[in-house]
Amino acid sequence: MGCAPMSHILFDEVMRFNPKNPYWFNRDRFVLSAGHGCMLQYALLHLAGYDSVKEEDLKQFRQWSSRTPGHPENFETPGVEVTTGPLGQGVGNAVGLALAEANLAARFNKPDATIVDHYTYVILGDGCNMEGISNEAASLAGHWGLNKLICFYDDNHISIDGSTDIAFTEDVEKRFEALGWHTIWVKNGNTGYDEIRAAIAEAKTIKDKPTMIKVTTTIGYGSPNKANSYSVHGSALGSKEVDATRKNLGWPYEPFVVPEEVKSHWSKHTKLGADLEAQWEASLAAYEKKYPTEAAEFKQLISGELPDGWDKALPVYTPESPGDATRNLSQTNLNALVKVLPGLIGGSADLASSNMTLLKAYGDFQKSTPEERNVRFGVREHGMGAISNGIALHGSGLIPYCATFFVFTDYMRGAIRLSALAEAGVIYVMTHDSIGLGEDGPTHQPIEHLASFRAMPNIFMFRPADGNETAGSYKVAVLSRKTPSILALSRQKLPQLAGSSIDAVSKGAYILSDNSSGNKPDLILIGTGSEVEIAAKAADVIRKEGKSVRVVSFPCWELFEKQSDEYKESVFPSEVTARVSVEAGSTFGWGKYVGSRGVAIGLDRFGASAPAGTLYKEFGFTVDNVVAKAKSLL
């Protein structure tokens, strides 16, 4: 209720959109980072004429199968750009949306032709400002000078526990100024409509930095008994207070009734939106005549379709190819893909030279060079994830990747979870995937991380064993625009394995080798990542003793679970109960695949500081130990 004036002005007077085509490319984007106030957004979408929010949808707020869920969900409600709710995430998403606009504008606009030109508006609250992720994202927005980003800070001094005086007394304006933002203060956000209009107009004159407009409001404005109280923050007013508020505001209409004069006023957006889109389409047609090459690339990008034959660029390896760390093989893939995927853009959290994520043919995305495609996120993992989600959800065909050490997914788990929930196909390049990183010790050695992401819905958790599997992981990740992917990559060198396959990765698990001559093997050895080599060598030892052994490489559990029962049975015959898995991480979850009789070799404790070879030996990730465990089952 306190945000209604600024939101009304934004949607009715400022923003450019087409309610009959929520996905028109050059629309302005709106993000409600304070997502608990989503009924305001639904009401505005309804008034503006979006078909996704009918009167019945408003009446079904937060109910089963509703298109008006308790926080905004982009996959549920067309017109909602990103999924917000966890505070501060929306700020990061908005920075990603603005980055995408800036990059595409710099790449495709010409002095005599502009086809990318839209703003990103975001409303955030005190809670968003308290969360550290918003500071990470805002710091980058200021550094990058994202002038098409305008944030409205709903300064109402109330959070769930009461007045913000109990925990939040910093000068937010000065903080944003220090982060490189232009700031404006609207002191009367309740009725100061002209102040709000003037602030937006001023923000649009700023060409070298984003703008934060602090709008001082009264939470629950209009409620005679609950306004300016924490009790109106997270719960409904109640029927008595609703009646009192309607009377106080002089609103005589029945619930959900929109007066005809209001309908008539807002109905203008249907024609206005159609006209705006038509004008843009005409501009694009004129651009195409002048700049056919650039137009072809631009139209291919925003179509969401991948270029024909893009996957032919993926490198192929043979057992004779030199062994290498999968993080290095990942860099080879990224640099091959960027030549054929104009949407590929990304970077690392200050670890590009260690994650091996630098695109060698491109410079850095910076304030002065927004056309470039290497993004320097600095040590800001959580903000990096949320920004990448915004890029992925911009609707322009950009394919973002971001990188850090695998263990530091702990710092960005909230953003990764929202990637999965919001169907944002971010590619997470995570190196130093196990105890194999060695001397840095247990603080940097991921143990439970593979299992934890395997428990997360709608995400592919890859752990490739060699070059072909790394390429196969990238192939699936690029194709999966509504499912994020995590690639857990090794620091240590691994051999190129006989039998590995790019295409087989899409099956999740596949037979790497088998000497059973078409019969059921005596034993199945299963490995992921750097441990597949160990399983293969153990199989060689056991085969010499006359046993038939199948080696299964298992780069992605989630993809395997999507396969038919027949395929699953062909890889893991139910009558073969002698099974051993080997993975340098938690054994949690492996019981499903090794069965009650099998053995899972893993690590259910934290690691240690020592050379990688020593750790593998001490923790039992050796050929001898795998052979011993296997023989105990035969």
pLDDT digits (tens, 9 = 90+) for 257-268: 999 999 999 999
The predicted structure's pLDDT at residue 198:
98
pLDDT digits (tens, 9 = 90+) for 402-451: 999 999 999 999 999 999 999 999 999 999 999 999 999 999 999 999 99
The predicted structure's pLDDT at residue 230:
83
The predicted structure's pLDDT at residue 224:
92
Average pLDDT over residues 122-132: 97
Is 440 annotated among the ligand-binding residues? Answer: yes
Q: Cβ distance 606 to 435 under 8 Å? A: no
pLDDT digits (tens, 9 = 90+) for 140-149: 999 999 999 9
Least reliable range by pLDDT among 161-165, 530-534, 548-552: 161-165
The predicted structure's pLDDT at residue 241:
93
Q: Cβ distance 458 to 498 under 8 Å? A: no
Q: Cβ distance 56 to 68 under 8 Å? A: no
Q: Point out which residues pair with 494 in neighbouring strands.
A: 324
**pLDDT at residue 170 above 90?**
yes
The predicted structure's pLDDT at residue 608:
97
The predicted structure's pLDDT at residue 503:
98
The region that residue 279 occupies, defined by phi over 0 for left and psi between -120 and 50 for alpha, beta otherwise, is alpha
Catalytic, 381? Answer yes
Going by their DSSP bridges, the two strands 162-163 and 158-159 should be labelled as: antiparallel
pLDDT digits (tens, 9 = 90+) for 80-107: 999 999 999 999 999 999 999 999 999 9
Rg of the Cα atoms in the chain: 27
pLDDT digits (tens, 9 = 90+) for 539-582: 999 999 999 999 999 999 999 999 999 999 999 999 999 999 99
**pLDDT at residue 385 above 90?**
yes
Is 458 annotated among the ligand-binding residues? Answer: no
DSSP symbol at 19: T
Q: Using 50, 70 and 90 to split pLDDT, how confident is the model at 233? A: confident
The predicted structure's pLDDT at residue 185:
98
Is 87 annotated among the ligand-binding residues? Answer: yes
Is 85 annotated among the ligand-binding residues? Answer: yes
Is 118 annotated among the ligand-binding residues? Answer: no
- Among candidate residues 381, 423, 558, 583, the one labeled active-site is 381
Neighbours of 403 (CB within 10 A): 30
Neighbours of 225 (CB within 10 A): 15
The predicted structure's pLDDT at residue 232:
83
> Judging by beta carbons within 10 Å of its beta carbon (0-12, 13-18, 19+), is residue 136 exposed, middle or buried?
buried
Amino acid at site 395:
G
And the tokens for 528? 């992921």
Closest by alpha carbon to 30, among 100, 147, 119, 115?
A: 119
Q: Using 50, 70 and 90 to split pLDDT, how confident is the model at 235? A: confident
DSSP symbol at 366: B
**Dihedral angle of Cα 513, 518, 520, 523, to the nearest 10 degrees:** -20
Is 175 annotated among the ligand-binding residues? Answer: no
Closest by alpha carbon to 485, among 520, 459, 458?
A: 459
Neighbours of 230 (CB within 10 A): 17
Average pLDDT over residues 58-75: 96
**pLDDT at residue 137 above 80?**
yes
Is 125 annotated among the ligand-binding residues? Answer: no
And the tokens for 477? 């990740």
Q: Point out which residues pair with 51 in neighbouring strands.
A: none
Is 432 annotated among the ligand-binding residues? Answer: yes
Is 327 annotated among the ligand-binding residues? Answer: yes
Q: Using 50, 70 and 90 to split pLDDT, how confident is the model at 110? A: very high
Helices (H), 351-508: 352-355, 381-392, 413-421, 449-454, 467-479
pTM of the model: 0.97
CA–CA separation, 454 vs 554, rounded Å? 13
Helices (H), 124-192: 126-130, 132-144, 172-178
Amino acid at site 558:
E
Is 158 annotated among the ligand-binding residues? Answer: yes
**pLDDT at residue 332 above 90?**
yes
> Percent of the chain at pLDDT above 70?
100
Which residues fall within 8 angstroms of residue 616, CB to CB, at 6 or more apart?
435, 436, 584, 622
Domains and CATH numbers, the chain: 4-273 (3.40.50.970), 310-494 (3.40.50.970), 503-631 (3.40.50.920)
Which residues fall within 8 angstroms of residue 119, CB to CB, at 6 or more apart?
15, 28, 29, 101, 148, 149, 150, 204
Q: Cβ distance 197 to 13 under 8 Å? A: yes
> Percent of the chain at pLDDT above 90?
96
DSSP output for 581-617 = EE-SS--TTTHHHHTTTSEEE---S---SS-HHHHHH
User: Exposure pattern of 318-356 as b/e (b: 16+ CB <10 Å)?
Assistant: eeeeebbbbbbbbbbbbbbbbebbbbbbbbbbbbbeebb
**pLDDT at residue 518 above 80?**
no
Q: Using 50, 70 and 90 to split pLDDT, how confident is the model at 279? A: very high
CA–CA separation, 434 vs 448, rounded Å? 10
Is 410 annotated among the ligand-binding residues? Answer: no
Is 46 annotated among the ligand-binding residues? Answer: no
Q: Residue 492, CB half-sphere, CA atoms under 13 Å: how many?
A: 19
Mean pLDDT of the chain: 97
The predicted structure's pLDDT at residue 184:
98
